[in-house]
Amino acid sequence: MNKPNIHTRFAVLLIAVAAAAGAAYGQTGATKTTAVKVTNTDAEAVPVKIIPMADGRKAFQARVIVQPTANGFSSALLQIPAGKRLIIENVSVITRSPEGMYMETNYNTYIDNNNDGVGDIADITFHRVVLADQGAIDGVQMATANHKVLVFADEQIGTGHFGVQVQARLNGALPTGGFAQAQYTFSGWVEDIPAVQ
Ligand SMILES: [Ca+2]
């Protein structure tokens, strides 16, 4: 079956970040009044900027944030430049949860695994992130991961368009007023997708 264009499933989400939330994102200073994107859950995908390197290669490095609220997966999308393939070589993740809670995290990508020129369910692969608990500081339970990987992510297969979808879920419902966040950073290379063989 054809995979729908997932880029169309996301809308823009802008949230003004208050001082407390800003601190949780590693920001400093007083109350922020600038509207910034703090999560991409069901929101506009985070774009990837292609960075030319001196040797001719094209690099990328991008951050995606997802904020789960319960034991069902929440997701966010890293948008791949049109017609490009990401070659992900490093993934770093930090999760912040209420003390005593923890997360399951993974991300998925597409490549034409069955080589039929059609973006279908055979083309999705899941990449689990192994987190190491860092304990709790000031009531915030943290876990981190930093892994050398080799993952391919195509933006287009046939008429289907895809991104890198990150996911996270908690081991239970987020308490009222609680804060939970999984922040992913991907680093790697950008190449053109070769023609279908
Ligand atoms: Ca396919």
* Per-residue model confidence as pLDDT tens digits over 69-83: 999 999 999 999 999
Closest residue by Cα to residue 125 from 150, 146, 147, 144: 150
| Cα 140 to chain centroid, rounded | 21
Give tens-digit pLDDT for 102-129: 999 999 999 999 999 999 999 999 999 9
How does residue 92 score in pLDDT terms, banded at 50, 70 and 90?
very high
Ligand 1 center to residue 13 CA distance, Å? 31
pLDDT in tens, 129-169: 999 999 999 999 999 999 999 999 999 999 999 999 999 99
Residue 10 CA to residue 14 CA, distance in Å, equals: 13
Mean pLDDT of the chain: 84
Residue 101 lies in a domain: yes
DSSP letter at 44 equals P
Full residue range of the structural domain in which residue 55 is found: 45-192
CATH number at residue 184: 2.60.120
Instruction: Check pLDDT > 80 for residue 46.
Output: yes
Residue 6 lies inside a defined structural domain of this protein: no
Give domain status of residue 181, yes or no.
Answer: yes
Residue 151 lies in a domain: yes
Q: Work out how many domains the chain is built from and give that number.
A: 1
Q: Is residue 57 assigned to a domain?
A: yes
What's the pTM value of the predicted model, to 2 decimals? Answer: 0.77
Question: Is 1 part of any domain?
Answer: no
CA of 164 to the centre of ligand 1 (A): 16
Domain membership flag for residue 9: no
Q: CA 152, CA 130: separation in Å to the nearest integer? A: 19
Q: How far is the CA of 115 from the centre of ligand 1 (A)?
A: 5
In a domain, 120, yes or no: yes
In whole angstroms, give the CA distance from residue 128 to residue 123.
Answer: 16
